[in-house]
Amino acid sequence: EDQVTQSPEALRLQEGESSSLNCSYTVSGLRGLFWYRQDPGKGPEFLFTLYSAGEEKEKERLKATLTKKESFLHITAPKPEDSATYLCAVQGEGGTSYGKLTFGQGTILTVHP
Amino acid sequence: DTGVSQNPRHKITKRGQNVTFRCDPISEHNRLYWYRQTLGQGPEFLTYFQNEAQLEKSRLLSDRFSAERPKGSFSTLEIQRTEQGDSAMYLCASSTEGAGELFFGEGSRLTVL
């Protein structure tokens, strides 16, 4: 069974203070690893897909990286509007559809001005 | 707005009542998914449609839950004889065939009293 563990559960940063969120996973053959952002009371918003170890993706202040066992979401010089819950999910080859994702519990990021 | 649309956004019901949620996916997406999310947890997969065919269901989807996608466009999720444990956010997502990333709606929050 696919498993995803995210750490830390919550992270408080000062504006401009760079940091990283961790996503550790076990999966029977990785089809894709996904990062989503979720604001309170809203649905998850897609950020990145990573397919193989060594791959990196960037979007504004966010950069996602992937190894064979974990993924990191690096946040450079965060702003208060980056405050949200960040979700990591995997899709393994054991699933029969591309959309059956296994999510972690999320990291709640708070950026103080 | 061409995103995934869900309604109602909020539903409060008494234990034992039936509720139905509707999802309108992005028009060119033939895959549709239902997920459930409880407070502090990541979304959990419930079921998946490709066009009008329901191809996969999670064991989380008890006999009281039924989902349909009659013409391969919108979908409904019905919960019969609701229980307090059904209180959660019900998320709908859609994707194109072959694409791993899902696009989520805003969700329908159910509260069972």
For residue range A56-109, list pLDDT tens digits in order. 999 999 999 999 999 999 999 999 999 999 999 999 886 565 678 999 999 999
B24 touches chain A (CB under 8 A): no
Which of A98, A103, A105, A108 to mutate to probe the B interface, most B CBs <10 Å? A98
Q: Are B64 and B81 in contact (CB under 8 A)?
A: yes
At CA A41, angle to CA A37 and CA A45, rounded to 5? 25
B41 touches chain A (CB under 8 A): yes
Q: Is the pLDDT of residue B3 over 80?
A: yes
pLDDT tier, A37 (very low <50, low <70, confident <90, very high otherwise)? very high
Q: Is the pLDDT of residue A9 over 90?
A: yes
B45 touches chain A (CB under 8 A): yes
Specify the pLDDT at position A95. 58
Q: How distant, in Å, are the alpha carbons of B44, B81, B84, B109 from that of B112?
A: 19, 10, 5, 10
Query: Is omega for the bond preceding B43 within 30 degrees of 0, making it cis?
Result: no
- Give me the amino acid identity at A5: T
In the predicted model, what is the mean pLDDT of residues A7-21? 97
B101 touches chain A (CB under 8 A): yes
What are the strands of the beta sheet with A19-26, ordered from one edge? A3-7, A19-26, A70-75, A62-66, A56-59
Phi-psi region of A110 (alpha: psi -120 to 50; beta: other; left: phi over 0): beta
Identify which has the larger pLDDT, A85 or A29: A85
Specify the pLDDT at position A103. 96
Which of B1, B36, B39, B45 to mutate to probe the A interface, most A CBs <10 Å? B45
Specify the pLDDT at position B101. 87
Work out the number of other CB atoms within 10 angstroms of the CB of residue B100.
18
Q: How distant, in Å, are the alpha carbons of A11, B50, B64, B104 from that of B16?
A: 40, 31, 11, 28
Specify the pLDDT at position A97. 59
The phi and psi torsions of B80 (rounded to 5 degrees) equal: -95, 150
CB contact under 8 A, B44 and A103: yes
Closest CB from B42, B98, B100 relative to A49: B100
Q: Is the pLDDT of residue B43 over 70?
A: yes
Q: What is the CA radius of gyration of chain B?
A: 13
Give the pair of three-digit tokens for residue A9.
Answer: 């559960």
Work out the number of other CB atoms within 10 angstroms of the CB of residue B20.
14
In the predicted model, what is the mean pLDDT of residues B34-54? 94
Which of A7, A9, A25, A46 to mutate to probe the B interface, most B CBs <10 Å? A46
The Cα–Cα gap between A68 and B8 comes to 41
Specify the pLDDT at position A26. 94
